[in-house]
Amino acid sequence: MVSTEAYGAWPSPIDARLAASHDGRPEYVGAVGDEMWWTEPRPAEAGRRALVRRRADGTTETVLPVPWNVRSRVIEYGGLPWAGAGRVDAGPLIVFVNFIDQRLYAYAPDGPDEPWPLTPVSAVGGGLRWVDPQLHLDRGDRGEVWCVLEEFTGEAPTDVRRVIAAVPLDGSAADDRGAVRELSDGRHRFVTGPKLSPDGRRVAWIAWDHPRMPWDGTEVMLADVADDGTFRNSWKFGGGPGESVPQIEWTTDGQLLFASDRSGWWNLYRADPHRGAVALCTRKQEFAGPLWKIGLSWFRPLENGLIATIHGKGTTTLGILDPETGELADTAGPWTEWVETLTVHGSRVVGVAASPQSAYEVVELDTATGRTRIIGAQHRDAVDPAYYPAPQNRTFAGPEGRDIHAHIYPPRNPERDGHEGELPPYVVWAHGGPTGHAALVLDLEIAYFTSRGIGVAEVNYGGSTGYGRAYRNRLREQWGIVDVEDCAAVARALAAEGTADPDRLAIRGGSAGGWTTAASLTSTDVYACGTVSYPILDLTGWGTDETHDFESQYLESLIGPLADVPDRYRARSPINRADRLTTPFLLLQGLDDVICPPVQCERFLTAIEGRGIPHAYLAFEGESHGFRRADTLIAALEAELSLYTQTFGIDRPDIPQLELKK
């Protein structure tokens, strides 16, 4: 029986604890001999990333206990934190980055020893950090790990250098920085891990420099590899300031494959010594994405010459590409989003995928049979799926008729409906990045609201990825304008068509989404309240010395050169428009955040002090950029719901009431 009750007051079995327990997703799949390995989130274990092993017999186990945390901090967002290799009669050998000290460790999981350190600790600035490791057991006296080294040279976040380096596997560099061999010449600010050709004679990597971000322009570098393992005669092979190449791979017969957006879309190419770059499958689809982390992979060549590739527009699927004919056969299955991680082993392709009815799972495709199966992190319904939202993938008309892509999640509860004539409240979700994307997948955080009668609209505003370079370039020098306008246009359209209550609209977002939320609350009258998480609030501060090196010049493209348009930085910053704020808000911040530091929140609170604006500020010890701990996730979600119920006049005695100060 379905009964009527006010939107937002519906009972739901999806509580904050359940939503928090399902936060995060598997990442970084890799083949180790006949086994598959990956990392998984552990919100209940202080938010660590665990390393998971799936043996050849199908059994799965967590390899390293608490407090081991397999996660890199290179460019703060990290990247591929582990690598492994099978050894005859010795079992697998694994190398990994431990988050706590950022040292590189080696581990033989079938042996008696605990993990042993391979790299030293540095007391300078952020120390020594490592990412994108690749094992070479036949290099050096006892083998080496080739990876990216990030080394701080001073206390400032921009006092840093990055090179490709070789770390000996015998532990001789554990206390000796001098035992680490630097392989690249350090001419570039940013580099990815090196990809060695099958014959061992050449190596390729990706590089870029400030003020470009990797989705603006990168360069493909090649070098000869001498007998002693040093790189020689390096040269630029492809890419450039206006071409983004986020991934390169060698085929088994020594051809170089790469993804490039030279056509306006990230498509796949093969390097030809006579014809240059040869397009393998020209489509107005994305076959790659933004390189937010080092070591992401959207495609992998198979031994038989075919290529496994993630591709799509807005949503993604896994396909098998014949590079000779351009034919692309897609994998059957319900999945609408494949994570930028793939590995291959023989005829098998393994990745991570999700759908609107299932969370992220580790999925295996056997290309010999065309069959798929779930081999890890299998989704299991914690509640009746009738409580999950039924999303709509829609396109709205924005200013000047431009398209705005969004996912709409109407309220849904099998036991409740709203009162006749009542329209539901809606919350607009602005994703981070801003060069990012909101995926069309099951998210229990969204279901937490929709199952209670509050709709959610995830907006892939101009600047988002997944829709070609022109769409993501809409935000160039327009941050705080296009994103704000697009979110508002979707909210207004939902109200105009009778989907949402125009008087009960809210907006929320974290990081760059926190910026869009704060900019929206201080420049529009669309929303009744908002939730701002680990945001950017002061562009001038963030564009000088209040963030990390990777994004320290991001605003050069999002806003414009600070030296040329300082007034634009001041005019668009929410901290300088605090006098326009009239609606309640919730501010959430991790105290260990070096990307969007707490000082910005503290200055914003000072700016609104005494103005009588109802607000709350929750700051969390031990959290950095993006919340990972279960207790933090629970507190943040319940506080957000309380803000909405108080603002929208909804009676909700089953959650702690957030104290709103004035």
Extract the tokens encoding 131.
């990412």
pLDDT at residue 590 above 90? yes
**Which of 431, 452, 439 is closest to 389 using CA atoms?**
452
What is the average per-residue pLDDT within 531-551?
A: 96
Helix or strand holding residue 223 (H, E): strand 219-225
> What is the distance in angstroms between the CA of the first residue and the CA of the last residue of the chain?
43
What's the pLDDT score for residue 368? Answer: 94
What pLDDT score was predicted for residue 89?
80
Per-residue pLDDT, averaged over 205-228, amounts to 96
- With the C-alpha atoms ordered 154, 156, 162, 165, is the resulting torsion angle positive or negative? positive
The 3-class SS string of 594-632 reads CCCCHHHHHHHHHHHCCCCCCEEEEEECCCECECCCHHH
Res 600 pLDDT > 90: yes
Q: Is the pLDDT of residue 414 over 80?
A: yes
For residues 597-605, average pLDDT: 97
Non-local (6+) Cβ contacts of 2 within 8 A are: 414, 415, 416, 417
The confidence score (pLDDT) of residue 253 equals 93
Q: Cα separation of 483 and 476, whole Å?
A: 11
pLDDT value of residue 439:
97
Of 286, 285, 288, 312, the closest CA to residue 298 belongs to: 288
Q: 141: closest CA among 172, 110, 104, 116? A: 172
The pLDDT of residue 142: 77
pLDDT of 141-154, one tens digit each? 679 999 999 999 99
The DSSP string of 388-412 is S---EEEEEE-GGG-EEEEEEE---
> Which amino acid is located at 658 in the chain?
L
Q: What percent of the chain clears pLDDT 70, i.e. is strictly above it?
A: 100
pLDDT at 139 (0 to 100): 80
Instruction: Count Cβ atoms below 10 Å from residue 346 Cβ, excluding itself.
Output: 13
In this predicted structure, what is the pLDDT of residue 416? Answer: 97
**CA 147, CA 145: separation in Å to the nearest integer?**
6
Cα 235–Cα 236–Cα 240 angle in degrees, nearest 5: 165
Residues near 274 by beta carbon (within 8 Å), at least 6 away in sequence = none
In order of 267, 336, 363, 431, 502, the CA distances from 316 in angstroms are: 14, 6, 14, 18, 33
The rounded distance, in Å, linking the Cα atoms of 101 and 184 is: 24
Give per-residue pLDDT as tens, 352-372.
999 999 999 999 999 999 999
Architecture of the domain spanning 3-16+383-648: 3-Layer(aba) Sandwich (3.40)
What contacts 68, CB < 8 A, 6 or more positions away? Answer: 48, 50, 51, 98, 115
User: Hey, which residues does 395 pair with through a beta bridge?
Assistant: 405
Q: So what's the pLDDT on residue 275?
A: 74
User: What gap in Å lies between CA 149 and CA 76, rounded to an integer?
Assistant: 13
Distance of alpha carbon 176 from alpha carbon 234, whole angstroms: 27
Find the mean pLDDT for residues 544-548. Answer: 94
Q: Largest alpha-carbon pair distance within the chain? A: 78
CA distance 180 to 169: 11
In degrees rounded to 5, what are phi and psi of residue 372? Answer: -115, 155
| 78 vs 97: CA distance, rounded Å | 10
- In the DSSP assignment, the letter for residue 44 is G
Q: In the structure encoding, which two tokens stand for residue 487, read together?
A: 């979110």
Helices (H) then strands (E): counts for the chain: 10, 39
Three-state SS string across 242-292, please?
CECCCEEEECCCCCEEEEECCCCCCEEEEEECCCEEEECCCCCCECCCCCC
Cα distance between residue 486 and residue 488, in whole Å? 5
Instruction: For 251-266, write each residue's pLDDT tens digit.
Output: 999 999 999 999 999 9
Task: Report how far residue 501's alpha carbon sits from residue 341's, in angstroms, rounded to the nearest whole number.
Answer: 40
Confidence of residue 88 (pLDDT cuts 50, 70, 90): confident
Report pLDDT digits (tens) over 41-73. Answer: 999 999 999 999 999 999 999 999 999 999 999
Give the separation between CA 464 and CA 438, rounded to whole angstroms. Answer: 8
- Say if residue 274's pLDDT is above 80: no
To which H or E segment does residue 162 belong? strand 160-168
Residue 99, pLDDT > 80, answer yes
Tell me which H or E stretch contains 352: strand 348-355
Pick from 643, 14, 647, 617: nearest CA to 656? 643
Confidence (pLDDT) at 524 = 97
d(CA 193, CA 398): 41
Confidence band (pLDDT; 50, 70, 90) for 18?
very high
* Mean pLDDT for all residues in the chain: 96
DSSP calls for 329-351:
EEPPSS--EEEEEEEEETTEEEE
Q: Which residues of 259-272 are buried (b: 16+ CB within 10 A; e: fewer)?
A: bbbbeebbbbbbbe
Report the alpha-carbon distance of residue 347 to residue 324 in Å, rounded.
18
Residues 173-195 have pLDDT tens digits of: 999 999 999 999 999 999 999 99
In DSSP notation, 178-219 reads: GGSEE-S-S-SSEEPPPEE-TTSSEEEEEEE-TT--TTT--E
Q: Where residue 276 falls among pLDDT bands split at 50, 70, 90? A: confident
Task: pLDDT band for 95, please (50, 70, 90 cuts).
Answer: very high
315 pLDDT tier (thresholds 50, 70, 90): very high
The per-residue pLDDT for range 603-637, each reduced to its tens digit, is: 999 999 999 999 999 999 999 999 999 999 999 99
